[in-house]
Every structure is written in structure tokens, then in C-alpha cells.
Amino acid sequence: MDGDSNSIDSQKAVMSKYASDNGFTNPVFFIDDGVSGVTFDRPNFNRMIVEIEAGNVATVIVKDMSRLGRDYLKVGYYTEIFFVERDVRYIAINDGVDSAKGDNDFTPFRNLFNDFYAKDTSKKVRAIKKAQGMAGEHLTKPPYGYKVDPNDRKKWIVDEEAAVVVKRIFDLCVAGNGPMRIAKILKADKVLTTRAHYAKQKGKSIPDNPYSWNESTIAAVLERMDYCGHTVNFKSYSKSHKLKKRIPTTKEQQAIFRNTHEAIVEEAVFERVQELRANKRRPTKAERQGMFSGLVFCADCGSKLHFATCKSFDGSQDNYRCARYKSNTGDCTAHFIREEVLRKIVLNRIFAVTAMFYEDITAFMELIQKQRFDEAEKDMKRKRREVGQARKRIAELDRIFKRIYEDDINGTISHERFLKLSAEYEAEQKELTEKVKAEQQEVDTYEQNKSDFDSSAAIIRKYVGITELTPTIVNEFIKKIVVHAPEKIDGKRFQKVDIVFNFVGEIHLLTDPQTEQKEANKQEKTA
């Protein structure tokens, strides 16, 4: 039943009258408004069970069987076992069920029909949601930072007050702060939590601890692509209408609709945050965190260079060394480099890049275009060709599978031969499918990088003439730092450092070739 007949007030009125007419005194109502009867994990239902177990309930009265629940197995358990064992009388008014008058043979069927109704309803709702989601409509309430457009319930508009906090959370992350640290900063600055913010908006009382941010809330904000102005549907699913647990989907299973609402965070900033989150940085025991932690890699083995420090150090001895180097017992060399030295190298490189950009932006863009895209385009053409060939072969293998299956059925080839051929073809198809996926991803990334090319200009322009590095500058500029093993050249120690910039990759500039050599020599002397 729907509408007013099934409203809370209506049900209370029906049961109050029934209790009064039939001599049931001191009635207590257990109401779970807005909670599906599919689940039995309902706050007031659980409270009722506790009261029954305590011996405080003699009779349970519901308007109809579906009000107790719509899972026929669990309803059967409570009505036929749980209530019976505890001598609790059970009455479903509209269904004519009263355990004091003996068993009703039709009751199990009613439970089954209720369960079927819930399943059918869930199926229809899922179908509607699927259609809405594939049409690009929002399937969830707007996240913190947005609100529903009062003129169009299907649209999100920016909640200006909350959007400022969202932007700040992303900026703090780019500055090198993790969710826990960001939560502490917001609390210290007395920024209202999401819950407190919504309460204030609705004119409700502010909850206790209105500034106590949770790191999980911060992490959830940092992971939402919606802040880039895109709608992301089907981020999770449930295995059954009876299960509340949501299971995250893969990126391939999601439907992304771009530019559906106003962005709060630039996509470049969002992508940078995801990279930083993937390379989480943790402070050392000395409670110091390397400026380049998570960004420095070994040129020989590809491992990260771990940051090393000590409480007794003043910072000048802080250094990075290969994770696979263990006092000459590992399978790689130390690739040792002091943070102080690396800081100077990175600062000089960023300064040179921004200076060239400032002096001649056209020449700078031409250099980047030539170094990155002209060379990469040849490789991408080859990969596109290989992807096309691989897809043709996959389709051909499908046809071959069909033929040999028919040959097996007809007895043209032996079953053993069929199994051998099918295993070989299946292995080849699997290998090709993985290759297509990997190379297509490279092509897609390349195309995205080309489209993001202009994003670098805004960042470079912002930091022209910098004289000091900050975590924010490092994270906005640098994607990766590759440290090579030191070598001797003319009796002097030289260590090559490759710097991969965000959006534009490596930039080979005609800078002072002695810079890194001098710094490396200094490092050797102080080691």
C-alpha cells in the first residue's frame, strides 16, 4: 500500500484504535520512518528486539505483515521461532494474523509475496536509476561544496561557503599535507564540519564538536571527481536488494559525463592530488618529512628513494637513497643524494624553465612541442597501429574458436586436439587483450596530455622568478625526479638528475652544465 494509507500517522491511528478496542493497554510504538523493510538492521526494530529479550513486551502488533519486514526468511524466523520461544503474541491487523488463534497457513505465502514485491520494486528502481545514470543525471545528493538548484532539482549549483573549504582542502594537499594533517588545520582554524555546515544552513542546532573534522571525510573530498565539474555515476553497487553494503566499481564500470556543472577544483589540480595520494608520504621518526618524498626514483632499478633523517640532524644531513640498497647487501647501489643538494638542483631547473617562458613564450612552447610531442607522436602512431592490428586478431580468434568448436562437435577433430588448440588460442587472445588495454591507455594518456598542455602555462606564469621552494611549488611543478648513480668524469664526481614536469614531461634546457657537477662535488666533500 502506498500514500497516506501507509503513512506513519495512518499506521499509528490504525494500531491505536485496534489496541484500544481489544484491551491492549500501555502501547509503545517502535517507528523506523524512511528505512526500507528489506533490511532488519533498523534502529527502532533493534530496540524492540532488545525489549522483547528483556521480557518487557507481551504482544507485537503491526498494520500488516510487510510492516515487520519484506525478507520472507527473516520474517518467518521472527514470527515462527523468535516470538514463539519468548511467548510473544504476534498480530498483523489487515492480514488477519493472530498467533493466539493458531497458525495461519497462508502467512508464509504472504511473507513470500512481500519479499517478491520488494525484489520486484528494487529491480524496477535499479532499471530507472540505470537509465537516469546513463543519461547523465545525478544519482546521488550533491556532495559538500554543492547544493541542489532551487529552479531545477536535477542540477547542482556551487555552495559558495562550502566551496571555499573544498578548494582549501585541495590546496593543503598540494602543499604536502595528508588528510589527518588537513583535518587538524581545519579544526585549529575553527572551520565548520560538513554536518555542522548543513545544520547551520537549515537553521538547526549546531552539533557538538562542530570543528572536529574526520580524516576519512577529508579523504572522501579529495577522491571526488565531481569537484572538476563532471558527473560520475555507478561508483558502487550492491549484490542484492537485501544487502546494504556497497561495493566500489572499477573506473571502467563507471559512467563519466564531463562539464555537467560548475567546477570547484581545476582538473589539473585534482589529477595532481590523485598522484600525490597514490604516493603517500609519511613523516620519519624524527617527525620530518622530505620535500621530495614520494617523487624521487632510482634510475637503475626504478624503486623509490627513501628519505632519511635523524633528530640530531639540523637538516643539512637529510638525504635520499635507493630503497633496494641496504649497506651494500641489496641488489642496487645507494644513489645517495642530499635533500639540500636536490633542493638547489630543482630550484635552479624551475627558475630556468620559468625564465625561458617569461623571456620568449613562443620559443618555449615550440621547444616543448618538439621535445615532447613530435617524438612521442611517432611512438603513438605505432601504438595506434598495433592496437588496431591486435583488435583484428582478437576478432579473428573469436571466429577460429567458433570453427574449432563446430569441428569438435562434428568429430572433424578430436576432443583432445580441440582442448589443445582452444587453450593456445585463449592464451593468445588474453595476451592480446591485455596488450590492447595497456597500449590504449598510453594513447589516451598522451591525448589527454596534449589537451592539458596549456595548463602548464598558468602554473609557470605564477612562479616566474622564484627564489625559494615550497611543497606547493614542488607538487604543482614536479611529477617525478629520477636520480642516477654518481660517476667520475675527469676525476670529479658527477650525478645526473632528470626532472619530469607535470603536463610537459622533461624539458632539456641549455643551462650551466656545471651546476649539478658542482653540487655533486660539494655533496661528496661533506659526505
Spans of all domains in the chain: 3-132, 139-277, 377-455
- Tell me what the mean pLDDT of segment 450-466 comes to: 68
The number of helix segments (H) and strand segments (E) in the chain equals 18, 18
Of the listed ranges 92-101, 225-234, 340-349, 410-419, the least confidently predicted one is 92-101
Q: Could you tell me the pTM of the whole model? A: 0.52
Report pLDDT for 217. Answer: 92
C-beta separation of 491 from 517 below 8 A: no
In this predicted structure, the answer to whether residue 513 has a pLDDT above a threshold of 50 is no
**For the ranges 167-181, 223-237, 424-438, 461-475, the one whose mean pLDDT is highest:** 167-181
**For the ranges 116-120, 149-153, 167-171, the one whose mean pLDDT is highest:** 167-171
What single string gives the DSSP state of each residue in 61-85? EESSHHHH-S-HHHHHHIIIIIHHH
Decide which of 192 and 473 is more confident.
192
pLDDT band at 395 (very low <50, low <70, confident <90, very high): confident
Report which of 442, 469, 524 is spatially closest to residue 176, judged by C-alpha positions: 469
- Tell me what the mean pLDDT of segment 24-47 comes to: 76
Decide which of 420 and 359 is more confident.
420
pLDDT digits (tens, 9 = 90+) for 242-281: 555 666 767 777 777 888 889 999 888 888 888 888 766 5
C-beta separation of 79 from 69 below 8 A: no
Give strand pairing partners of 98: 91
E strands of 342-491, at which residues? 478-483, 487-489
CB atoms closer than 10 angstroms to residue 138: 21
pLDDT band at 218 (very low <50, low <70, confident <90, very high): very high
- Tell me what the mean pLDDT of segment 351-366 comes to: 76
pLDDT band at 222 (very low <50, low <70, confident <90, very high): very high
Share of the chain above pLDDT 90, in %: 11
Report pLDDT for 514. Answer: 39
C-beta separation of 364 from 464 below 8 A: no
Report pLDDT for 2. Answer: 41
Report pLDDT for 396. Answer: 87
Give CATH for domain 139-277.
Answer: 3.90.1750.20
- Tell me what the mean pLDDT of segment 44-48 comes to: 87
Report pLDDT for 357. Answer: 77
Report pLDDT for 518. Answer: 47
Q: Which fold has domain 3-132?
A: Rossmann fold (3.40.50)
Report pLDDT for 104. Answer: 54
Decide which of 417 and 67 is more confident.
417
Mean pLDDT of the chain: 77
Of the listed ranges 55-59, 250-254, 258-262, 431-435, the least confidently predicted one is 250-254
Report pLDDT for 526. Answer: 43
